[in-house]
Amino acid sequence: MEINLAVLDRQFELHQTEYEQAALRALRSGWYVLGNEVENFEKEFAKYLGAKFCVGVNSGLDALTLAVRALNIGEGDEVIVQANTFIATVLAITENHATPIFVEPDEFYNIDAEKIESAITPKTKAIMVVHLYGQATNMKKICRLAEKYNLKIIEDCAQSHGAKFQNKMTGTFGIGCFSFYSTKNLGAFGDGGAVVTDDENFAEKIKMLRNYGSKIKYHNEIAGVNSRLDEIQAALLRVKLSHLDELNEERKKIAARYLNEIKNPSIILPKIREGSTHVWHQFVVRVKNRDDFQKYLEQNGIKTVIHYPIPPHLADCYKNLNHRRGDFPVAEKFADEVLSLPMFNAMTAEEIDFVIDVINKF
Ligand SMILES: *Cc1c(COP(=O)(O)O)cnc(C)c1O
């Protein structure tokens, strides 16, 4: 049996007719940029989250970058971020010429809320939280710190569509930044992203920034960019959003089988924090001899991916930050040990059986 990490055509096939009708509706409308589909998707996604405003942009990275920019965070400012994230989280900070201040992750792979306070300096402007792999971060402590030190909270929700902390959606504790890249839980059929906020002025600012910095065409108030969610993607996302809860439920069922049935003492299974929900963007295990384990799975037809092999502080592009191996030992250990198992919608019971069986024989 051959099993990939994610098989996206199956997700399309689950609701194929609806996607085809939505795409045709957008194609036949004659209006392809910032029209009804984007406007309706923005309303529907804001409503789903329990937020007031949603602004569609071109990608998750753009959502994060524009959020940092709209907060006027730049040169000389510091942004606290977890050391075990995807590079895009950090790029959004450095693209704005601000400095990322890394903090170690906790056992749930989220930022360790206990280690944030000692990283705060007079230059700190924001805490960037990543609900990594789909599990909501412990927001209670972080919201308290943000209030105490007057810091903004930016949430990287690229992997957490629908995940909640204490019954409140991720993306509604601070400024929510979402990616709709195809593999994400709420994935488009191409690129897409959104910024979510309850602050109308902030939403207006993102709307201006995404459209060359103008509210009224050809009246440019700020030097903006072109970063718009396009109509066809928005039409397709409206279909997927209407099924998001059932798609997440299905991922939870796959995760429950892995958690109950993988029984191998050399494999550390993911843990769920009390008060958080997990939407299983990735099912990440840890193994001491990870590279052997990955090779063994590959030989048995099971494809896996490492999220992520090099923590941002050790990336070649950030040599200028002068970090060394040993600076963030927890994040480095995770980078050496993590492995993401196959997890996708419409994965069959036989495929799940097979993955479990092969892993238990390792
Ligand atoms: C995917 C992802 C991003 C970037 O989103 P794009 O839409 O690909 O630009 C940012 N942060 C995290 C944690 C991601 O997983």
Does 241 sit in the ligand 1 pocket, CB within 6 Å? no
Amino acid (1-letter code) at residue 231: E
Q: Ligand 1 pocket test: which of 81, 131, 181 has the largest number of ligand atoms within 8 Å of its C-beta? A: 181
The pLDDT of residue 342 is 97
Q: Whose CA is nearest to atom 15 of ligand 1?
A: 158
What's the rounded mean pLDDT across residues 337-356?
Answer: 97
Band of residue 130 on the pLDDT scale cut at 50, 70, 90: very high
The pLDDT of residue 331 is 98
SS3 217: coil
Query: Of 87, 56, 85, which Cα lies nearest the Cα of 160?
Result: 85
Contact 126, 71 (CB under 8 A): yes
Contact 234, 41 (CB under 8 A): yes
Rounded distance between C-alpha atoms, residue 154 and residue 152, angstroms: 6
Does 194 sit in the ligand 1 pocket, CB within 6 Å? no
What's the rounded mean pLDDT across residues 17-28?
Answer: 98
301: left (phi over 0), alpha (psi -120 to 50) or beta: left
Q: Which residues, 6 or more positions from 218, have their beta carbon under 8 angstroms from its beta carbon?
A: none
- Ligand 1 nearest-atom number relative to CA 62: 9
Does 63 sit in the ligand 1 pocket, CB within 6 Å? no
pTM: 0.98
List, for residues 270-318, the tens digit of each pLDDT value: 999 999 999 999 999 999 999 999 999 999 999 999 999 999 999 999 9
- Ligand 1 nearest-atom number relative to CA 59: 7
- ∠ at Cα 240 (238, 244), nearest 5°? 120
Does 89 sit in the ligand 1 pocket, CB within 6 Å? yes
Q: Whose CA is nearest to atom 10 of ligand 1?
A: 88
What's the rounded mean pLDDT across residues 17-27?
Answer: 98
Average pLDDT value over all residues in the chain: 97
Contact 71, 175 (CB under 8 A): yes
